[in-house]
Structure 1
Amino acid sequence: MDEKVKGNLIIIGGAEDKEGECAILNYVASTVKKSKNSMLIITTATQKPQEVFSTYERVFKRLGIGEVDTLDINDREKANDSVNVTKVYNAGGIFFTGGDQLRITSILGGTKVNDALADVYKKGTVIAGTSAGASAMSSTMIVGGEADTPKKSGLSMAPGLSFIHEVVIDQHFAQRGRIGRLLYAVAQNPYTLGIGIDEDTAIVVDGKGLFHVIGNNSVTVVDAKNIRHSNISELNQGDVLELIGVTLHVLSPGSGFDLTRREPILKGGL
C-alpha cells in the first residue's frame, strides 16, 4: 500500500482568524520559518486573486514572514510557465486559498507547476490550504453536494492534488451541517476515511501519517471500513442512504489521529 502522506500538510477548515491571535496562520508561519522565511500564496481557487492575496500578504508579514509572493495562475498556459515553476521551487512554504477547489485541479492538474508542487512536497516543503484549498489536498475531493439528510441527490467528487491518500476532506464542516454529505462520500468507498474540519480549525499532518488538531473547534473523522450494511448501490435519485456500523470520532484541539492504524490519539498521546 502506498504511503498515505509523504510530507507536511496543514489543512484548514476555512474562516480562520486573520485579525486576532491568528493561531492557525501563526502556526503556519512559524512552521515555514524553520526552513526558509518565505511564503507563496496560490490564488487559483478564487476569482478575486489580488484581493485575497493582499489579505494573506498582510497577515503573514505581520506574523513575521519576510517574503510573501503570489502565484496567480488562472489558465493552464501560466501553469506550465517556467517562471511559475521556479517560484514553487524557491518557496519556503506554500498556501492555497479558498474559492472553488475544481478551479485548482482543472487548471493545475497535469501541468509543470503541479509536478513541481508534488516534488517540493515530497522533499519537505510545508503545504497549507484553507477551505477549497483544504478539499483539494486529498486524492479524491468533494466538489459539491447538498448538506442535509444523506441521500442520492447529486454529490459530486473529482480527483484532487493527491498530497494525502485514502481520505476525503470536507471543510466549514459543523458550521454548514455537512455530516450528511461526508457520510455519503465514504459510503461510496468505505475504505476512504472522511475528515470534516470545522471553521477556524486545522489538522497538521506529518510524514508518518499522524495528524493533530489545532484551532478553536473540532474535527470529525468518519470511518466506514467496518460497516455491516449499506444500501448505497441500490439507491435511486432522492432515496435516503442507510449505513449500519459507522465509526465516528470527534476530536478537539490537542487530540489527533493515526491515519494508518485508523485510531484517535488523545491529548498528550502525540
Structure 2
Amino acid sequence: MSEKVSGNLIIIGGAEDKEGDKEILKRVAKYIDPEKEKLIIATIATEYPEKSYQNYKNVFSNLGIKNIDKLDISTREDAFDNKNVELINNSNLLFFTGGDQLRITSMIGGSPVYDAVKELCANGGLIAGTSAGASVMSDTMIVQGEDDESPHKCTLKMSPGLGLVNNIIIDQHFAQRGRIGRLLTAIAQNPEVLGVGIDEDTAIVVSDKGTAEVIGSGAVYFIDGSSIDYSNVSEQYSDEVLSMFNVKLHVLKEGNRFNLLDKVPFEEDKDFYENHK
C-alpha cells in the first residue's frame, strides 16, 4: 500500500441487495447530498448498459438521490470525449457496475476519462464498484482463473487495474464461486500483495487512511502472504498443485475492520465509524 489511500472507496463483492434493506447501496448513497450533488453510474463493464443504468438509477432514485446521470463509454474514442470528462469533473460519486473488468481498463486506461476518475478519487470524491467494478479498483486485477478448484501454480490471468488502491488484489463473488484457490495463487506469485476476497452482498468501505470496514451480509477474506517461508511457484511444471507454507488468512464480518497498511484486523474504531457512517 502507499502511505495514504486517496479518496474513499466502496468495493462490493457483487449481487448486492437491491430490493430489501439495500444496506450497501444505502451506504453508497449517504456519501453525497441527495438534493444537490451528482451520482454518475458508469456502465462501461456491461454489454447491456441501458438496462444496468436503469436498474441502478431506480434504486438510487428510491434512496432519494435527485441528480443521476450515466457514463456510457462503449468505444475507446468515448474516453477522449470532453463531455464525458466534464461529466466526471462535475460529479461527486462514481459507481461502476458489474460486467467485464477488462472492458473498463481497455476502454479508459490512459485516457482523459481515466485521469478524471483518478482526480475525483484524489480530491475526496467517492468511487464505488460492484463485481467487475470492484476488481478494477486495484493496481493489479484478476481477469481469469479457475473457480472451485485446488490452486495450481500458473492457472491465473492478471492485468493492470485502475490503481485507485495499491498493493492489493480483489476477488468478488468469493465464497459463492469458490475462488479462494485462485486468490491464493495470486498471493503466492507476489506475497507482498494483500489478497481481498469479498462475498456477494458484502463490501469494504476504504477510507483515505487505509482502513477497510466490512459491511453487508457475508464475509471478507484477507490473505496476507508476507510471512510465507516456502512455495513451489514457478513457471516450471505449471500444472502442478500449488504448495506454500505460513500464509495468513483473516475472515471478517460486518462491523469488523482491517488496516490495509499494517495488514492487521481490529473490531472497533469509533472515531472511524463516526466520520464515515
| TM superposition score normalised by structure 2 | 0.94
The equivalent of 1:69 in structure 2 is 69
Contact 2:135 2:171 in 1 (8 A): yes
For residue 265 of structure 1, report the CA deviation from its aligned partner. Answer: 1.1
The reply to whether residue 89 of structure 1 matches residue 89 of structure 2 is: yes
Percent of aligned pairs with the same amino acid: 53
Flag structure 2 segments of 5+ consecutive residues without an equivalent: 273-277
Give the CA deviation at 1:267. 3.7
In structure 1, C-alpha distance between the alignment counterparts of 2:196 and 2:210, rounded to whole Å: 14
C-alpha separation between the residues in 1 aligned to 2:34 and 2:200?
Answer: 26
**How far, CA to CA, are the matches of 1:244 and 1:35 in structure 2?**
53
SS of 2:239 mapped into structure 1: coil
Which position in structure 1 is the counterpart of 2:267?
A: 266
8 Å Cα contact 2:79-2:113 kept in structure 1: yes
Cα deviation for residue 33 of structure 1 reads: 2.6
Amino acid at match of 2:24: I
Q: Which segment drifts farther, 151-160 or 120-129?
A: 151-160
Unaligned runs of 5+ in 1: none
Q: Within 2, Cα distance between the matches of 1:219 and 1:34?
A: 29
1 CA distance for matches of 2:235 and 2:54?
49
Aligned-partner Cα distance in 2 for 1:24–1:250 = 19
Alignment deviations for residues 18-44 of structure 1 (CA, whole Å, 9 cap, x no partner): 011100001000112389532100000
Partners of 1:161 and 1:3 lie apart in 2 by 18
2:257 maps to a residue whose letter is G
TM-score calculated relative to the size of structure 1: 0.97
Matches within 5 A, 1:1-270: 2-3=2-3, 5-33=5-33, 36-147=36-147, 148-233=149-234, 235-267=236-268
The alignment yields a C-alpha RMSD, in angstroms, of: 1.5
- Partners of 1:202 and 1:152 in 2: how far apart? 28
Q: Deviations over 1:114-135 (max 9, x none)?
A: 0011011100110000000000
Render the CA deviation track for 1:109-160: whole Å, top value 9, x for unaligned. 0000000110111001100000000000000000011021000353110000
Comparing 2-11 and 221-230, the one that deviates more? 2-11
Offset of residue 237 of structure 1: 2.9
State the alpha-carbon separation in 2 of the partners of residues 154 and 227 from structure 1.
20
Q: Please give the alpha-carbon distance, in whole angstroms, between the structure 2 residues aligned to 1:46 and 1:251.
A: 30
Q: Describe the SS at the equivalent of 2:146.
A: coil
Q: Secondary structure at the residue paired with 1:32?
A: coil
Question: What CA distance in whole angstroms lies between the structure 2 residues aligned with 1:32 and 1:241?
Answer: 45
CA displacement at 1:235 relative to structure 2: 4.4
Q: In 2, Cα distance between the equivalents of 1:255 and 1:35?
A: 31
Q: How far apart are the structure 1 equivalents of 2:199 and 2:36?
A: 29
Letter in 1 for 2:156: L
TM superposition shift of 1:238: 1.6
CA distance in 2, matches of 1:267, 1:7: 21
Paired letter, 2:213: H
1:212 and 1:265 map into 2 onto residues whose CA distance is 10
